[in-house]
Amino acid sequence: MMTRITRLGRHGCDLVEALGRAGMFLGQSLVGRPSVEGFKLWLRQMHFIGVLSLAIVLVSGLFIGMVLALQGFTILVDFGAEDALGQMVSLSLLRELAPVVAALLFAGRAGSALTAEIGLMKATEQLSSMEMIGVDPLKRVVAPRLWAGFVSLPLLTVGFSVIGIWGGHLVGVEWLGVYEGSYWGNMQSSVDFVDDIGNGMLKSLVFALVVTWIAVFQGYDLVPTSEGISRATTRTVVYSSLAVLGLDFVLTALMFGELG
């Protein structure tokens, strides 16, 4: 009994400690003067995290937009309201699906890779060698990855929304025969730039912060063995997916609920 209580206490302390480490880690990596060298490193990460994630995000966006249009149409047509298809597709994409699905894909595609890469650097003692020769690994390795993640995910979300709305147009207008004018017209009259697009972007920025932070920290903080790397990679995907979905509820309640 006593040992159980002790163990519980230790787990609690470990948790708080990990949170503290994660917070300090974030602070130390992000503070610092921008430099040409840092910009080049950032650019390389932007290519890996952003540009190479584009394909999976765009293809998913296209299919999700098409499915939304198809599902929405079959329901709306019962009420004779298929003219509202554009509004339905665009609002569900902009407010909800684009930020969330893009963040989940991002966690799977880029987050896990970040964790594994930094983890392997730690396991092969590249990070400690950097420290030895006087290069701060937080600045050299971590900071460019964090910044690249923060910038990439909102951009990917924009791409997701645009291609999703286009996919909805493809199915709704070209295939199912919704009148084109009402698809775009209803969309324009119901979507507000600040309330819908702005809030969607804000969501995606928050998700970008959380997912990249989790991914990079898990890599930096893991037990430097092959098993540790595999565990940390799994944890990255699990934690960031849960964080995205949980935060999404909170943010939605604040933005679109009647609370605000």
Partner 1 sequence: MKRSKMMEFGVGLFMLAGIVGIIFLGVSVSGLTVGGGKDTYTLQANFANIGGLKSQARVTMAGVTVGRVENIELDTEWYDARVTLALDSRLEDQLSRDTTASILTSGLLGEQYIGLSVGGDPDTLADGDTITDTQSALVLEQLIQQFVANMATD
Task: Write the CB contacts of 134 (distance below 8 Å, at least 6 apart in sequence).
Answer: none
Q: Binding pattern to partner 1, positions 194-233, x when CB under 8 A?
A: --xx---x--------------------------------
Task: Write the CB contacts of 177 (distance below 8 Å, at least 6 apart in sequence).
Answer: none
Is there binding between residue 188 and partner 1 (CB under 8 A)? yes
Is there binding between residue 187 and partner 1 (CB under 8 A)? yes
Cα–Cα distance between 76 and 29 in angstroms, integer? 50
**With CB under 8 A as the contact rule, which of the stretches 113-121, 134-142, 156-164, 230-238 interacts with partner 1?**
156-164
Dihedral, 124, 219, 112, 15 alpha carbons, nearest 10 = 150
Is there binding between residue 46 and partner 1 (CB under 8 A)? yes
Token pair belonging to 203: 């969501």
Which residues in 45-88 belong to E strands, given as ranges?
A: none
Q: How many residues bind partner 1 (CB under 8 A)?
A: 29
Look at the chain and count its residues. Answer: 260
Cα–Cα distance between 244 and 254 in angstroms, integer? 15
Selected binder of partner 1 within 15, 19, 24, 43 (CB under 8 A): 43
Is there binding between residue 51 and partner 1 (CB under 8 A)? yes
Closest distance to partner 1 from the beta carbon of 244 (Å):
20
What does residue 34 show for φ and ψ, rounded to 5 degrees? -70, 145
Is there binding between residue 71 and partner 1 (CB under 8 A)? no
Which residues in 89-204 belong to E strands, given as ranges?
A: none
Could you count the other beta carbons within 10 Å of the beta carbon of residue 149?
A: 25
**With CB under 8 A as the contact rule, which of the stretches 1-9, 11-19, 153-161, 170-178 interacts with partner 1?**
153-161
Selected binder of partner 1 within 35, 71, 189, 226 (CB under 8 A): 189
Is there binding between residue 151 and partner 1 (CB under 8 A)? yes
Is there binding between residue 170 and partner 1 (CB under 8 A)? no
CA angle 117, 123, 128 (to 5 degrees): 100
Residues that bind partner 1 (CB under 8 A): 43-44, 46-47, 50-51, 54, 90, 94, 151-152, 154-156, 158-159, 161-162, 165, 184, 187-189, 191-193, 196-197, 201
